[in-house]
Amino acid sequence: MGKPSFAVVEESNPWLIAHEALSRLARERAAADAEEGRWLLAALRAATHVHLGFGSFAEYIERSFGYKPRSTQEKLRVAAALEELPVLSRALSEARLHWSGVRELTRVAVAATEREWLELARGKTLRQVEELVAGRRLGDEPSAPRNPSAQRRVLRFEVAPETFALFREARSELRRRSDAALDDDAVLLEMSQLVLRGPRDEGRSSYQISLHVCAECGNGQQAANGELVSVGPEVVAMARCDGQNIGHVPLEPTSPLVGQTVPANETTRVPESAPVGAKPRARADTATTQRAQQSIPPAVRRAVLARDQRRCRVPGCRNATFLHVHHLELRSEGGLHAAENLLTVCGLHHRALHRGELIVEGSSPSALFRHADGSDYGHPLQPRALDTAVQVFGGLRNLGFREREIRQVLGELRQDQRLRGASAEALLREALARLRPPRPPFR
């Protein structure tokens, strides 16, 4: 008579049955998520919604599958990214990583780094994966230093029904005024600027903020109710276009800023080692910026606003309550305060210009606007090509190249038939092969 077996598991064990069922569903869902993304992308490219009579792709997906527009947009982004990331795509299909984790890794991984990011994310929770990619940009390696300005901030509100209704009405009004699709970031930015609107003198900047710019590295930090928040390079670039220097900041004789004024939007330029708000003593061997000096001469700024009829010059934009003056040839790259080099734009389009989302060509007041992919502004465009161009623009700017150099090389790449449909990674490599090494900032 044989020994009794103790390895028999009761089939009626409820926790084991539940675990096995959930594990099976997780594997099936991961494979379904991968397949769903591919078909969503195929449906978008085939304009399925048009053939079915829907007004937009987002409406088609929401009515047919219940996804909100933001969820649809994110699924499409991930699916497009996975076309260039075979390792991550296979990991999702084989359920070695769930969709939420893959979603986060596609924000930073490229073909050359996807294996390293996947290995690092293995066994981690979604929150841990989010922390891994926070502060890093597309193409960064896991060992790359974090860039605080690349980290998104989250705002959550619970409000009364009447407040919610008023907010939605205000958001709709802002969208009508700009004649553009504004995301949450753009809506809240515009609302905040309207509230903070400062001096009514058209010769001065429209609102008062404090932006601290390091003279050594050019990184900027914006004051936020007692806290300094790191901001992106496009914010610093906007500040140099149209702002005002406040406070005295000593610069060592060897500093590249000696002998030139580099304006910043309502800015106190403070070296990283200096305490915020400090008033260093001026010395004979030290150059200082002037106190409360408007970057654009007030008379010139008023003349430009009058010439541009006190409204944003981007075609179709009706914003006229919060206006910036943009240098077509950037001030930081030698551009002058001449009227033909200055153009009136709203804050949202000013940011888009310095992010590479918009291109402006020619001189004022007859400057022409184009989308990032080179197409005429307002004409049908290819979202994927536009997004790729913006990614390459941001990548080159983060490497220290000047905007003028970036726009020039992107124009060359657009004319190269061999590069049509190329990925952001391929375009970035080609751009680096054509560019000289970047010069030190502010020099």
Whether residue 291 has pLDDT greater than 80: no
Residue 71, domain member (yes or no): yes
141/78 same-domain check: yes
Do 99 and 175 lie in one domain? The reply is no
Domain assignment of residue 303, yes or no: no
Kindly report the average pLDDT of the chain as a whole number. Answer: 77
Name the strand (E) or helix (H) holding 260: none
The number of folded domains in the chain is 4
pLDDT at residue 8 in the model: 47
Q: Are 340 and 363 in contact (CB under 8 A)?
A: yes
pLDDT, position 285: 38
The per-residue pLDDT for range 407-428, each reduced to its tens digit, is 889 989 888 888 888 888 888 8
CATH no. for residue 60?
Answer: 1.10.10
Question: The whole model's pTM is what?
Answer: 0.55
What does the pLDDT average to over 319-346? Answer: 84
Which of the given ranges, 130-134, 153-157, 173-177, 284-288, has the highest pLDDT on average? 130-134
- Do residues 190 and 171 touch, judged by C-beta distance below 8 A? no
Q: Where is average pLDDT lowest: 138-142, 166-170, 219-223, 266-270?
A: 266-270
Q: Are residues 236 and 351 in the same domain?
A: no
- The reply to whether 139 and 171 lie within a common domain is no
pLDDT score at 208: 63
Contact 145, 121 (CB under 8 A): no
Pick the range with the lowest mean pLDDT from 4-13, 24-33, 140-149, 183-192: 4-13
Q: Is residue 341 part of a domain?
A: yes
Q: What tokens does 145 get?
A: 């230093």
What pLDDT sits at residue 255?
35
Domain extent for 113 = 16-146
Residue 123 region by backbone torsions, left for phi larger than 0, else alpha for psi between -120 and 50, else beta:
left
Whether residue 441 lies inside any domain: the answer is: no
Residue 248 pLDDT class (50, 70, 90 cuts): very low
Q: 263 falls in which pLDDT band (50, 70, 90)?
A: very low
- Pair 397, 331 in one domain: yes
Burial class (CB in 10 A: 0-12, 13-18, 19+), 340: middle
Q: Are residues 52 and 135 in the same domain?
A: yes
Preceding omega of 365 cis (within 30 degrees of 0): yes
Say if residue 313's pLDDT is above 50: yes
